Chain A
Amino acid sequence: MLKTKLAASAALIALLSNTSVLAASEEDIEMLRSEIQGMKEAYESRIENLESKLEKMESEKVASGQVATAPVSRGAPSAANSFNPEIGLILNGQYSSFSEGDSTIRGFGTPGEGARGDEGLKLGESELNLSANVDDKFRGSMTTSFASEDGTDSIGIEEAYIETLPGMGLPTGMSIKAGRALWILGYLNEQHTHVDDFADRPLPYRVFLNSAYNDDGVQLSYVLPADLYTEIGGGVFRGDDYPLGSASGSGPGAWSAYARVGGDIGDDQNWRIGGYMLSGDTASRTSNDGVVSFTGDTTLFTADMRYTWAPTGNPYEQEILFQGEYFWRNEDGTYQDTNAATGKVAFDDHATGWYAQGVYKFDPQWRIGYRYSQLQSPDIPVGLAGSLLDSGGHNPDAHAVMMDWSNSEFSRFRAQYNYENPASGIEDNQFLVQYIMSFGAHGAHNY
């Protein structure tokens, strides 16, 4: 608008000066010219001034918040389903082929999830997650897993928990989670299997945790106010999930504690190490399809470390991940193997296990990885000789190599080869191919 006005007045001036030019001298023309120039400059600077004022006013208007929605029209729709929770679904399928018919890990009671899966084409675990902020203080989340094992479809509650939000007013960095959850215990336990870098869990997770410890309970975590990331926490649990079992009575059957620290080395490298423990009474715990049972006290110590390296700290293009965990489990009670008719045999010893893995992302879509895992079976009393708990001095171990391709962060295909020695003289060559896809809401991942 201002510009048209200026143009109009300039035209008028030009017209006027044109008519007078007939009689005017060179001097007059020069004077008029400079006058016009002066006017033009004055107008321009005024316009510039006005424009900058306008811009400032506009930005202040936006900033004052009253119209925060105006320039971006961020008005949320107000339908009845506006408050529906975030819904995410994981689809997963697998083909497996094994060279050995029997892959029982000797020397340990191995629970259902700890055994290798079914052979052939098979639907993997599909997960449905619903989560939402309940109100200003709580968040709720539920993950149901749908699996098919030995031809039967089953539904399991993998997680169903509430957790406090920072609005709860607990000290900054502290939160409490209650219900059933993948509790903080080592590195992998906290994460859903579809996030794993390999198609199956390493040996110590299979025998010590039945893939993951997700008992019912309460856990507190607290990030300390330190420059170096330091987190501590602990919890009490029902004591129903492997490596515990058959809790009864009102008292908690188990408790846990952990501490971990982590940081950066320059821009490129990040690390985290931690120590964890879980201890509880086991009223009765069966494994190996009900053949092996244990009653007594279980104490599990775990240490984990993770190290990531990415050029310039940009993991999207290239990245190397190293990760390892060590397990030490003591059991004090009685073991029984009904197939071997051992009767109840007093047992007090420890078993250990560990794995280490490296994954190299050499392209935004391609990764390769190698993992080695090993178990050290406990010394057994003579009463258990010849039972499944008798490893015959063999320490089970396994090598795994994998390669995966991700079209986007929502879809991944993976091929994996395992060479496992679950028992003396058994060499199991396993070939696995899987896909993992997720759609809908997809939560951010931990480190």
Chain B
Amino acid sequence: MKWLLSSIVALELLTMAPAYAEDQLNVFACEPEWASLAREIGGDKVEAFAATTARQDPHHIRAKPSLIAAIRRADLVVCSGAGLEIGWLPVLQQKAGTSNTQRGSEGYLAAANYVPMLERPTRLDRADGDVHPEGNPHVQLNPHNIALVATELSNRLATLDAANASVYQSNYENFIERWQEAMVRWENEATDLKDVPVVVHHKSFTYLLDWLHMEEVGSLEPKPGIPPTSAYLEELLRSLRDQSARFILRTPYEPDDASEWLSEKTGTPAIVLPFTVGGDDQSVDLFGLFDSTIATLTGAPNVE
């Protein structure tokens, strides 16, 4: 046992020196949008790592070795929360998270705890599919939510790294000012989208539709998390005869077959929205994400 402990200490000394030379705050973001927000507010004081990309379904990520190594370095973990990462984040946190980045700690920020949640189920039953008791976790597509999380994030950064608190505060103020302006612009640009009916693949766009007052008239998944079946799609097709949709929306990580099939049958354009930072070429940051989303929706065919 003794040799084991001493070799652990020796190994630790060997490996820790180079990786910890810089004094940046390490932010582990479960999804790219939170990494992008951390860069906005942290500036060069933080090193933000995104655990997933826009091409990956954040519900289903493997607790892979690289993520264990990454969460070990984290001073702050920022995630959507509301059970979105329940299949992989707890393993990482238990295996190598610091005590300060566990649930309920200063170093763990779940966006869902700071925004008004939509679609909180009134009953919890797995027969209803992959339901999230806390509500729909895809909160990032309402920019007002981004602003709310930004406020909390700047508080957390200031607490964790008090020496740079003033930097975070001024970065935050700068960001919020630009963000408010951008929101007014997006809302003006999107006025024509009010009441526009859409079909979604998964309930990924609930917050976007709520923000722009668009209407969801159907989803390609029969139940959240259950892949589309041909029988269900036929049924959806029939229901769309009475209530036609303007778009069929999906994220970059969702397969195209169901939405292309429905698009062909109905003539409704199937479009991919970036969903998060990195979701298309224009979505290099949060501003780009919403610029691109609004431009795609307003520029798509069939909009008067």
Contact = CB atoms under 8 A, between A and B. Distances in A.
Bound together: yes
Given A68-B113, A270-B65, A314 B20 contact: no
B151 A60 contact: yes
Nearest to B135: A72
Contact of A447 (B62, B72, B180): B62
A236 B1 contact: yes
Nearest to A273: B65
B66 A262 contact: yes
Contacts of A409: 87, 130, 225
Contact of B72 (A59, A72, A172): A172
A261 B65 contact: yes
Contacts of A280: none
A39 B152 CA distance: 37
Interface string B90-116: 110111111101100000000011111
Interface string A215-232: 000001111111111111
B151 A315 contact: no
Interface stretch (A9-17, A99-107, A438-446): A438-446
A267 B102 CA distance: 26
A226 B176 contact: no
Interface string B29-69: 00000000000000000000000110111011111111011
Contact of A223 (B69, B152, B255): B69
Nearest to B148: A59
B11 A232 contact: yes
B95 A444 contact: no
A413 B217 CA distance: 33
Range of interface residues on chain A?
Answer: 35 or more
Given A166-B93, A228-B69, A444-B86, A267 B53 contact: yes
B106 to A, nearest CB: 10
Interface in A369-428: 407-410
Contact of A408 (B12, B73, B180, B225): B225
Contacts of B88: 444-445
Nearest to A222: B8
Interface string A95-133: 000000000000000000000000000000000000000
Nearest to B5: A220
A257 B99 CA distance: 26
Nearest to B176: A56
Interface string B239-261: 00000000000000101000000
B147 A55 contact: yes
A229 B65 contact: yes
Given A62-B151, A223-B72, A444-B88, A314 B253 contact: yes
B12 A312 contact: no
Given A224-B15, A227-B19, A52 B55 contact: no
A55 B144 contact: yes
A439 B55 CA distance: 29
Interface in A151-192: 165-169, 171-173, 175
A312 B56 contact: yes
Interface in A307-345: 308, 312-317
A74 B66 contact: no
B96 A172 contact: yes
Interface in B274-290: none
B4 A223 contact: no
A68 B109 CA distance: 12
A270 B134 CA distance: 32
B262 to A, nearest CB: 18
Given A72-B134, A165-B102, 18 more contacts: A55-B144, A60-B151, A62-B148, A62-B151, A166-B97, A166-B101, A169-B99, A221-B95, A222-B8, A227-B19, A230-B15, A262-B64, A270-B62, A315-B61, A444-B86, A445-B91, A446-B63, A447-B63
26 contacts: A55-B147, A55-B180, A68-B114, A72-B112, A72-B116, A165-B94, A169-B99, A172-B97, A172-B98, A173-B95, A220-B4, A223-B68, A229-B68, A262-B66, A264-B65, A270-B62, A270-B65, A271-B65, A312-B53, A314-B56, A316-B59, A364-B227, A408-B130, A445-B62, A445-B63, A447-B62
